[in-house]
Amino acid sequence: MARLSSSQPQPNPPVELIGERADLNDEPSGTLGRALIEALQLLASGDRALLDILGLTLEVSLAALLIAAVIGLPLGATLGLTNRLPLRGLVRAVLYTGMGLPPVVVGLFVYLLLSRAGPFGELDWLFTVRAMVAAQTILALPLVVGLTWAAVESVDPELRPQLLALGATRGQIAATILREARAGVLAAIAAAFGAAVSEVGAVMLVGGNIEGQTRVLTTAIVLETRRGRFALACALGLVLLLVSFVINLALLRAGERRTPAHAD
């Protein structure tokens, strides 16, 4: 069974995405079958390196998702509830552009901000988990805001006047509309998590893929692929897909549990 091995930590490897060609020691043909076996073996054996990488992956992506949700859900709801928003079309265009930001561009932007010559160089965050969380938050935030905005706008427009007639406060109106739009809100959270957990370019740039410190599943996949260890790389990919499936299933179940209570 292949084990996760790593090179010595490097302070500046983010630009080595293309780099030297790895010596192929694994044939691509028939790799998927072996990948499934290796993924199960790695999980069953409790491989420490895999568990460390998996734990860091969840730590970074869930932290970025939490920050994006805390900022993005209220902002998206506010935009959706605001009838007369100045430059509404421009704001929406900028937001939609943010939803499609190239991760490597975000990584470069964060790298320049956090480098020693950058405005936030004194924080000493470059090649740390905090820098990775910052990059993933920037990628996830526009998705949360934009999809929440769209979900709130899709709610029956007659609901708000009815709530006002019943004497509901602004907070109560916003909470009720968000409950009505919960399917879209959960989709926003799921999309943001998917963008964060599957990202590789930005976290490679600002995190450096350092063993035991900033290596996550996506950067480990890149590393093992460059080494020609295709079965192990695919096994890590299957683990990443499994993690995404479990998180999204939990979000789906959370939405389903709220439905009966609301219906009553």
Q: pLDDT per residue over 169-224, tens digit each?
A: 888 888 888 889 988 999 999 999 999 999 999 999 999 999 999 999 999 999 99
Query: Per the domain annotation, does 16 fall within a domain?
Result: no
pTM over 0.85: no
| Within a domain: 254 | yes
Query: In total, how many domains does the chain have?
Result: 1
Task: Please check whether residue 13 lies inside any domain of the structure.
Answer: no
- Would residue 120 count as lying in a domain? yes
**Residue 185, domain member (yes or no):** yes
- Tokens (6 digits) for 243: 């993690």
In a domain, 204, yes or no: yes
Judged against a pLDDT cut of 70, whether residue 12 lies above it is answered with no
Q: Is residue 17 part of a domain?
A: no
At residue 86, does pLDDT exceed 90?
no
Does a structural domain hold residue 8?
no
The CATH number linked to 175 is 1.10.3720.10
**Residue 193 is part of which domain span?**
33-263
